[in-house]
Amino acid sequence: MSAKITKIKARQILDSRGNPTVEVTVFSGSHFAVASVPSGASTGSHEAVELRDGGKQWRGLGVAKACRNIEKIIFPLLKNVSVFDQEEIDRLMINKDGTVNKSKLGANSILGVSLAIARLASQLKGQSLYFYLAKIYGFKKLSMPTPLLNVINGGLHADSGTDVQEFFFIPKRGSFSQKIEMGSNAINALKHILASKKLSVGLGDEGGFAPKIYSNEKALRLLTAAVHKSKLQLGKDIALGIDAAASEFYDIDKELYSLNSDKKHYKPASIHQLYASWVKRFGLEIIEDGCSEDDFTGWQNLTRVLGSTVTLVGDDLFVTNPARLQAGIIAGIANSVLIKVNQIGTLSETMAAIKMAKKFNYKIVISHRSGETTDDFIADLAVATAADYIKAGSLARGERLAKYNRLLKIAEELKK
């Protein structure tokens, strides 16, 4: 079967915040596949560049240039290349861009094409996307990830007034669908607790609640209460975790972490004490971005004190970048990496980061962005790479459920 790329079409669609993003359709003859690109709010400064139009239209966020780059530059480059040559395709786009951060063509342009081609290739082979991805990148084992359910949204994702961006339920026992059910029960209990305290049950960007609580510790107390109310055992059935997204409350000039909601301030040398106390009081099992993206002192202390018992995830720290991850591994900081396809901009570089993490026993968390579409690619990516966790928001909002529902389907397929 001929599997040559015959056409690539790009258009501007909207993400879950109503901001423009890129959707790509790749054709091979009459066959085609579509992929769309997510977008962050608390982006790391070392991420690949999302190309935006600027100017007055769409608040400067239009992606017409990115779409034009796809049709006028990337398509001529890839015309007649086989969709099965994924790594070669990614390399061609990286070289054509020629910058370290994909600022010329835009990581959003390149990623949309990279993902759509993989999806089309899997379709032409008649294989599930997760199966195809595992095969071409040499992952030997397929497995279901544990969901990290972001049930209280704060930071830049909601106006709940917490400095910490995300508070997770981590269901720990049973099959994937049993974990989702446990999560659903605990979320339901949390909703009732919030309502009984006359707190809002409206949702933030990632589908978690956004009650105006103005306190990180109050959020942790609410989550604990919800686990108990749903007759689950904290730490055994469901554990708690956070994404502090600490780059957002770190002042580089003052070298100070300011958790304004709890009126607490920490130097890089002491921020780990706060997390150690939360681990002790609330049994936190995962802390993502506990320190700011370039605060290596903070990260080193945090890893020394909690690294043997707590999963310490680097998101803004590593930005899915194999080079930054390698530097972190050598420095011995964190013990887990967050993987976001649009932080680096191609599927092949994403896989390189995942392989490096596995080689050094860093845990893998595949992640959505706060601005998402209903594209469920990351569900297949998590299964293909046997990732430890997937973080796709709470069990609400269609763009979040698209990922969990795809995983429920894959779980069924894997059972057969």
Query: Which residues bind to ligand PGA, rule: CB under 6 A?
Result: 40-43, 165, 243, 245, 315, 367, 369-370
Nearer to ligand PGA, 41 or 77 (CB): 41
Dihedrals phi, psi of 93, to nearest 5 degrees = -70, -40
| SS3 of residue 27 by DSSP | strand
CB 172 within 8 A of CB 145: no
Active-site option among 102, 179, 218, 340 = 340
Quote the least distance from Cβ 207 to Zn ion, whole Å. Answer: 15
Quote the least distance from Cβ 352 to Zn ion, whole Å. Answer: 20
- CB-based contacts of 376: which residues, under 8 Å, 6+ apart? 402, 403, 405, 406
Among 47, 90, 295, 315, binds Zn ion (CB under 5 A): 315
Question: Which residue number is nearest to ligand PGA in terms of Cβ?
Answer: 40
Site for Zn ion in 210-249 (CB under 5 A): 243
Quote the least distance from Cβ 50 to ligand PGA, whole Å. Answer: 11
Nearer to ligand PGA, 237 or 372 (CB): 372
Nearer to ligand PGA, 15 or 237 (CB): 15
- The 8 Å CB, 24+ separation contacts for 175-181 are 175/144, 175/411, 176/144, 176/145, 176/147, 176/407, 176/408, 176/411, 177/408, 177/411, 179/146, 179/147, 180/147, 180/395, 180/404, 180/408
Quote the least distance from Cβ 83 to ligand PGA, whole Å. Answer: 29
Encoded amino acid at 191, one letter: K
Nearer to ligand PGA, 42 or 373 (CB): 42
Quote the least distance from Cβ 336 to ligand PGA, whole Å. Answer: 13
* Residue 50 binding result from Zn ion, ligand PGA, none, given CB thresholds of 5 to 8 Å by partner type: none
- CB-based contacts of 222: which residues, under 8 Å, 6+ apart? 152, 190, 193, 194, 211, 213
* 78-86, 258-266, 315-323, 375-383 -> range binding Zn ion (CB under 5 A): 315-323
Nearer to ligand PGA, 21 or 42 (CB): 42
Active-site option among 23, 166, 206, 349 = 206
* 17-25, 208-216, 218-226, 281-289 -> range binding Zn ion (CB under 5 A): 281-289
* Residue 276 binding result from Zn ion, ligand PGA, none, given CB thresholds of 5 to 8 Å by partner type: none
Nearer to Zn ion, 314 or 345 (CB): 314
Quote the least distance from Cβ 224 to ligand PGA, whole Å. Answer: 22
Dihedrals phi, psi of 193, to nearest 5 degrees = -65, -45
Candidates 381, 330, 384, 380; CA nearest to 359 is 330
Dihedrals phi, psi of 212, to nearest 5 degrees = -80, 85
Q: How far is C-alpha 96 from the geometric centre of its chain's CA atoms? A: 27
Q: Are strands 311-314 and 284-288 parallel, antiparallel or unpaired?
A: parallel
CB 380 within 8 A of CB 410: yes
Number of other residues whose CB lies within 10 A of the CB of residue 38:
26
Q: One symbol per residue from 4 to 43: x for binding Zn ion (CB under 5 A), - otherwise; what is it?
A: ----------------------------------------
Question: Which residue number is nearest to Zn ion in terms of Cβ?
Answer: 315
Quote the least distance from Cβ 243 to ligand PGA, whole Å. Answer: 5
Known catalytic residue: 166?
Answer: no
Known catalytic residue: 206?
Answer: yes
CB 369 within 8 A of CB 342: yes
Nearer to Zn ion, 62 or 154 (CB): 154
Q: Is 244 exposed, middle or buried (0-12, 13-18, 19+ CB in 10 A)?
A: buried
The residue ranges that bind Zn ion (CB under 5 A) are 243, 289, 315
Residues annotated as catalytic are 206, 340
